Amino acid sequence: MTNSLNTDDIDTVLSTARSVRRKLDFERPVEQQVIEDCISIATQAPVGMGGENWRFLVVRDDDKKLQVARVYQEVMLELTAARGISIKSTHQALMDRMHEMPALIFVCVIGQPEPSHSSNVAFYGSILPAAWSLMLALRARGIGTTWTSLLSAREEEIAGILDIPEGVLQTVMLPIAYTKDARLKPANRLTAVEVTFVDSWGSR
Ligand SMILES: Cc1cc2nc3c(=O)[nH]c(=O)nc-3n(C[C@H](O)[C@H](O)[C@H](O)COP(=O)(O)O)c2cc1C
């Protein structure tokens, strides 16, 4: 393994892994081998003392995707109605076509967080870095996705559709498809100076 990496490419991937809900090629299958290559990279993420409790459920079955998409749609409609907001067109696009995605990847973890803050930090800190690495590995291969967490509101129902056993927690779900003419750019975010302190809080 060389120590001299192409930081331009790596930085591009890291800073352009946008949510891709449109400009996706619904006709082009995403090969299982490509997904597994990405999962192999994801499982290099940091992991706490609990060990490798990550499990990835790749849903390709049309009927199951449709059932999941229906639940997603219901949650989105309930959430936006409860908050009195309208659904943005980009969210609508994902909602309308989720079942057409070649695959939906559920990032799951065996176990439950304890109620304490530190155990939550350790528990989610041992699964979400892998989910993000997966998203980046997909991005590097021209596969678009979105970090979605809405379905966690209906975890039991999803568990029923996908035969996820008790004791396995669902975290994020990544709907995936190859991108088509998507121009992924860095987002407009606070600068490093705005969000960084040195030596003591508030000191720049
Ligand atoms: C904790 C979390 C939960 C999210 N859940 C959803 C979701 O359920 N559905 C969705 O379309 N996007 C979801 N997103 C994606 C955000 O909407 C998105 O990251 C944000 O709009 C910024 O856009 P970008 O990812 O292109 O930078 C979620 C993001 C985070 C961090």
Kindly report the protein residue whose alpha carbon is nearest to atom 21 of ligand 1. 19
**Percent of the residues in the chain that have a pLDDT greater than 90, as a whole number:** 96
Q: How confident is the model at residue 50 (pLDDT cuts 50, 70, 90)?
A: confident
CA distance 198 to 204: 5
CB 27 within 8 A of CB 106: no
Q: How far is the CA of 1 from the centre of ligand 1 (A)?
A: 34
CA distance 156 to 136: 28
Q: What is the pLDDT of residue 192?
A: 97
CB 128 within 8 A of CB 109: no
Residue 94 CA, closest ligand 1 atom number? 11
Q: What is the pLDDT of residue 58?
A: 98
Average pLDDT over residues 115-132: 96
Q: How confident is the model at residue 177 (pLDDT cuts 50, 70, 90)?
A: very high
Dihedral of the alpha carbons of 72, 77, 78, 80, in degrees to the nearest 10: 120
Residue 20 CA, closest ligand 1 atom number? 26
Q: How confident is the model at residue 2 (pLDDT cuts 50, 70, 90)?
A: low
Whether 81 has a pLDDT exceeding 80, the answer reads yes
pLDDT higher at 180 or 4 = 180
CA distance 203 to 141: 40
Q: Which residues of 76-115 are buried (b: 16+ CB within 10 A; e: fewer)?
A: beeeeeeeeeebeeebebbbebbbebbbbbbbbbeeebee
Whether 47 has a pLDDT exceeding 80, the answer reads yes
Whether 42 has a pLDDT exceeding 80, the answer reads yes
Average pLDDT over residues 100-109: 98
Structure letter (DSSP) for residue 157 = H
Name the CATH topology of 20-180. Answer: NADH Oxidase (3.40.109)
What mean pLDDT is reported for the chain? 97
Average pLDDT over residues 192-200: 97
CA distance 144 to 21: 8
CB 13 within 8 A of CB 136: yes
CA distance 175 to 147: 8
Pocket test for ligand 1, best of 18, 77, 148, 190 (most atoms within 8 A of CB): 148
Q: How confident is the model at residue 1 (pLDDT cuts 50, 70, 90)?
A: low
CA distance 50 to 15: 30
Please report the sign of the dihedral spanned by the C-alpha atoms of residue 132, residue 133, residue 138, residue 141: positive
Whether 143 has a pLDDT exceeding 80, the answer reads yes
Q: How far is the CA of 48 from the centre of ligand 1 (A)?
A: 25
The domain segmentation of the chain, as residue ranges, is: 20-180
Kindly report the protein residue whose alpha carbon is nearest to atom 19 of ligand 1. 19
Question: Which residue ranges have their beta carbon within 6 Å of ligand 1?
Answer: 18-19, 91, 94, 146-150, 187
